[in-house]
């Protein structure tokens, strides 16, 4: 009888974990990517002359305003236009914002196509960020081994996106029924003081949900 109750308890824990992943796995890509890029985008500004920086800055700000004012489709078009005539590094940044806007507009296939293009053609480290989001968008629709393989460059120690990549791998493992592996990955994030605070909080909650 005790075994029966133990099995029920494990099923309830897994169900709770699945609901938590639905909550966080559906994390709005536009917001997540937008916050990261809003900060890191400043690095690129210093590489351009004041005149070109001002012109592109105006266009970037206009596109960003569209994204934050509930017009993701228009924002995607604006970022796409900016990416076409911007320098390579800045084009990568604009492409990522284009993809996040497309995702917010509900055009998942188009967003995925842009993320995969950046992963293949974009400059480091943003190509790895695109790899992570391309994998996250396909959890449950592509086999775990394929997705984890695509994440490999971002999982390397020292990669700035490694914590996000580890969280993504954990979600992939959980979706595939590899609960023990998922739990170990979530624990590694929760126990690492260098993990960004929000991501660490999500990982801690997932550890609890999985009975760790």
The reply to whether 75 falls in a domain is yes
Output the pLDDT for position 63.
83
Residue 183 lies in a domain: yes
Q: Phi and psi for 152 in degrees, rounded to 5?
A: -45, -45
18, part of any domain? yes
Residue 61 lies in a domain: yes
The Cα 63–Cα 194 span in angstroms is: 33
Asked whether residue 7 is assigned to any structural domain, the reply reads no
**5 in a structural domain:** no
Q: Is 6 inside a domain boundary?
A: no
Q: Which domain holds residue 199?
A: 12-209
Percent of the chain with pLDDT over 70: 73
- Band (pLDDT 50/70/90 cuts) for residue 62 is confident
Token look-up 């959890």 returns: 139
Residue 95 contacts by C-beta under 8 Å, 6 or more apart in sequence?
79, 80, 83, 114, 117, 118, 122, 130
Report the CATH number at residue 100: 1.25.40
* pLDDT tens, position by position, 14-32: 555 555 555 544 443 444 4
CA distance from start to end of the chain: 23
Domains held by the chain: number: 1
Tokens of 188: 């590694």
Is 1 part of any domain? no
Q: Model-level pTM?
A: 0.74
Q: Which pLDDT tens digit goes with each residue over 32-61?
A: 455 455 444 544 545 544 456 567 778 878
pLDDT in tens, 90-130: 788 889 889 988 988 989 899 999 999 999 988 778 899 99
């Amino acid at each position: 009888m005790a075994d029966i109750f133990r099995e029920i308890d494990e099923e309830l824990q897994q169900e709770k974990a699945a609901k938590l992943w639905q909550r966080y796995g559906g994390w709005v890509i536009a917001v997540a990517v937008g916050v990261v890029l809003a900060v890191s985008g400043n690095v690129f500004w210093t590489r351009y002359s004041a005149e070109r920086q001002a012109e592109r800055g105006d266009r970037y700000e206009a596109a960003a305003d569209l994204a934050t004012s509930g017009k993701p489709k228009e924002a995607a078009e604006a970022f796409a236009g900016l990416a076409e005539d911007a320098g390579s590094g800045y084009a990568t940044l604009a492409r990522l914002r284009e993809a996040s806007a497309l995702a917010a507009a509900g055009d998942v296939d188009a967003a995925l196509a842009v993320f995969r293009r950046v992963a293949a053609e974009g400059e480091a480290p943003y190509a790895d960020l695109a790899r992570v989001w391309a994998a996250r968008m396909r959890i449950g629709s592509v086999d775990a081994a394929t997705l984890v393989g695509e994440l490999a460059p971002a999982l390397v120690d020292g990669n700035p996106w490694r914590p996000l990549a580890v969280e993504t791998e954990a979600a992939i493992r959980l979706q595939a029924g590899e609960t023990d592996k998922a739990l170990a990955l979530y624990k590694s994030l929760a126990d690492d003081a260098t993990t960004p605070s929000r991501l660490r909080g999500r990982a801690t909650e997932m550890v609890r949900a999985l009975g760790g």
